[in-house]
Amino acid sequence: MAEQKKRRDKNGINGGVYQRGKKWGYVLDIGHDPLTGKRKQQTKGGFTTEGDAWDALVEANTALKTKKFVKPSKRTVAEFFAEWFPAVKLSLKTTTFGNYQNYANAYVLPIIGNRQLQQIETDTITKLWSYLAEKGRVKGDSNQRMYEHWKKVTEAGQKVALAELAEAGGVTYSAASKAAARYRAGRIPKEYSSSLDNTTIQSVRIMLHRAFEDAVAWQYMEANPVSDAVRVRRTHKVHSTWTPEQLKAFLAEARRERLYAMWLMFATTGVRRGEAAGAMRHLLVPARKIITVWDTRVVANGKVVDSDGKSKNSRRHLALDKRTIAELANHTAMLDQERKDHGADYEDNGLLFCWPDGSPIYPETISDQFDRLVDRAGVPIITLHDVRHTYATMSLRAGVNPKIVSARLGHASVSFTLDMYTEDVPELHHAAAETVSDLFLEPDEDDETADPPIDLP
């Protein structure tokens, strides 16, 4: 009892102990509410003796002073995210915020949303990755079901009824119509798998690590369980690209289109879809052969939003070749004529690529038109974003300095560019091997490519 009295009288201890029935507890001042300024206290009871309560209070004081104090709470992961998303909305790009919401709602909350936040441990996160890798896909296989129905009907020599196709996939009539067009063009869906790819799991990890870092900062958790969890290996794949001949065939078909200048700019610069959709006419300077890539128009949660690019390097001055400049000059002359034809009905948004009345083009529509052009051109099926990969690999094969390629693509760093495309251009390794060895090795006499010896007089 004497030692308990000593602790009770010790200076510097924040709070005190109390007795309730046969048990003891403590009360601790933990500061003030950051918004209202009201005093905040933390209580904890259930201690057998007064000394136990004092010991716990001293420990809580130490944690509070070292900013490691975590208030015991039964807050669930779902409740935390309901608080976290409004708090971070203003600090994230619209697209990033939308992606984070999708990752949480699809891959985190259905699995651990009901767990108490303070019960989430490193092992929990590691098991979450394993679960997602095995059966994390949640989008379903509506495309596969529609294709199986379409295949069965067409192989029987019958005409596919779009209403039945929509019913088979559980989609709208319009979606079924687009699916049928894809199948007729040979765009067959991959076999459905319940496993989630490593790239998506890695994206979930980035989101969850950021969220739990804030939980630690808010003193909701003692440590971030994602930090020490098993890391998911990011898979590197060889991108689908066209050869120069295939790209030429595509552009020959696209030349008949009103937006040919846009398709050409995709091919000669590797710009992103959102960058083309948001390109502003006043940022094109033909005299300097430059266009400034600045604002973008992207789709987030089904809605078009204006953004400022993926990174600070996304905003860039992009040099254009003389052929692209010439086509863009023809294109802007066409815009002037369309403005004149529509008169007061013209919707002037200042966009470089728009509909004849000046209204913006929905980004997904650009992808849909690209797919139709690919089918008409009879070239291998790739995505619109793969044209960007085509530009990058062609540039590297042509010997363009990787730093220039990286800058033109708007990548965050040269290392990112090389990491992404080295597997696509394996000949770079062979060229490097020959270049270095030529510095100190004599040409092989049996090498037909070696220069012939010179007879000196």
What pLDDT, in 10s, does the model give residues 353-406?
999 999 999 999 999 999 999 999 999 999 999 999 999 999 999 989 999 999
CB 363, CB 297: distance < 8 Å: yes
Q: What are phi and psi of 30, to 5 degrees?
A: -115, 20
With respect to residue 148, please indicate whether it lies within any of the assigned structural domains.
yes
Cα torsion 30, 31, 32, 38: sign: positive
Average pLDDT, the chain: 86
Check residue 333 and give its pLDDT.
97
Check residue 6 and give its pLDDT.
40
Residues 178 and 252 in one domain: no
Average pLDDT, integer, range 31-50: 76
- Residue 131: left (phi > 0), alpha (psi -120 to 50), or beta? alpha
Q: For 95-99, 121-125, 312-316, which range has the lowest pLDDT when averaged over its residues?
A: 312-316
With respect to residue 172, please indicate whether it lies within any of the assigned structural domains.
yes
Check residues 68 and 407 and name the one with the higher pLDDT. 407
Residue 162 and residue 144: Cα distance in Å, rounded? 15
- DSSP category for residue 76: B
Which of 79-88, 216-225, 299-308, 313-322 is predicted most confidently? 79-88
CB 281, CB 332: distance < 8 Å: yes
Residue 263 and residue 252: Cα distance in Å, rounded? 11
Q: How many separate domains does the chain show?
A: 4
pLDDT at 1 over 50: no
With respect to residue 72, please indicate whether it lies within any of the assigned structural domains.
no
Residues 122 and 201 in one domain: yes
Check residues 44 and 325 and name the one with the higher pLDDT. 325
With respect to residue 225, please indicate whether it lies within any of the assigned structural domains.
no
CB 117, CB 215: distance < 8 Å: yes
With respect to residue 229, please indicate whether it lies within any of the assigned structural domains.
no
pLDDT at 152 over 80: yes
Check residue 452 and give its pLDDT.
53
Tell me the whole-structure pTM to 2 decimals: 0.72
Residues 284 and 375 in one domain: yes
Residues 268 and 170 in one domain: no
Check residue 207 and give its pLDDT.
96
Q: For 117-121, 400-404, 407-411, 447-451, which range has the lowest pLDDT when averaged over its residues?
A: 447-451
Residues 59 and 109 in one domain: no
Residues 124 and 256 in one domain: no
Cα torsion 276, 282, 287, 290: sign: negative
CB 422, CB 401: distance < 8 Å: no
With respect to residue 441, please indicate whether it lies within any of the assigned structural domains.
no
Check residue 33 and give its pLDDT.
65
CB 402, CB 396: distance < 8 Å: yes
With respect to residue 45, please indicate whether it lies within any of the assigned structural domains.
yes
3-state secondary structure of 290: strand
Which of 32, 65, 98 is where one domain is finished? Answer: 65
Which of 41, 65, 89 is where one domain is finished? Answer: 65
Check residue 309 and give its pLDDT.
61
Residues 19 and 133 in one domain: no
Residues 175 and 200 in one domain: no
Residues 150 and 127 in one domain: no
Check residue 239 and give its pLDDT.
87
Check residue 456 and give its pLDDT.
41
Q: For 66-70, 284-288, 333-337, which range has the lowest pLDDT when averaged over its residues?
A: 66-70
Residue 106 and residue 78: Cα distance in Å, rounded? 12
Q: What is the CATH number of the domain that holds 85?
A: 1.10.150
Residue 53 vs residues 3, 40, 263: alpha-carbon distances, Å: 13, 20, 73
With the CA atoms of 335, 337, 341 and 346 taken in that order, what torsion angle do they form, in degrees rounded to the nearest 10? 30
Check residue 454 and give its pLDDT.
44
Which of 143-147, 379-383, 444-448 is predicted most confidently? 379-383
Q: For 10-24, 104-118, 374-388, 401-415, which range has the lowest pLDDT when averaged over its residues?
A: 10-24
Residue holding tokens 């009901």?
Answer: 114
Q: How far is CA 366 from the centre of its chain?
A: 19
Residues 164 and 207 in one domain: no
Each residue's pLDDT tens digit, 252-278: 999 999 999 999 999 999 999 999 999
Residues 303 and 380 in one domain: yes
Q: For 266-276, b where at least 16 C-beta lie within 10 A, e where not — what string?
A: bbbbbbbbbbb
Residues 130 and 209 in one domain: yes
With respect to residue 151, please indicate whether it lies within any of the assigned structural domains.
yes
Supply the range of the domain harboring residue 92.
77-137+196-217
Q: What are phi and psi of 325, to 5 degrees?
A: -60, -45
Average pLDDT, integer, range 73-98: 93
Q: How many CA atoms lie within 13 A of 16 on its CB side?
A: 5
- DSSP category for residue 12: T
Give the tokens for residue 40: 């905040």
Q: What are phi and psi of 400, to 5 degrees?
A: -70, 135
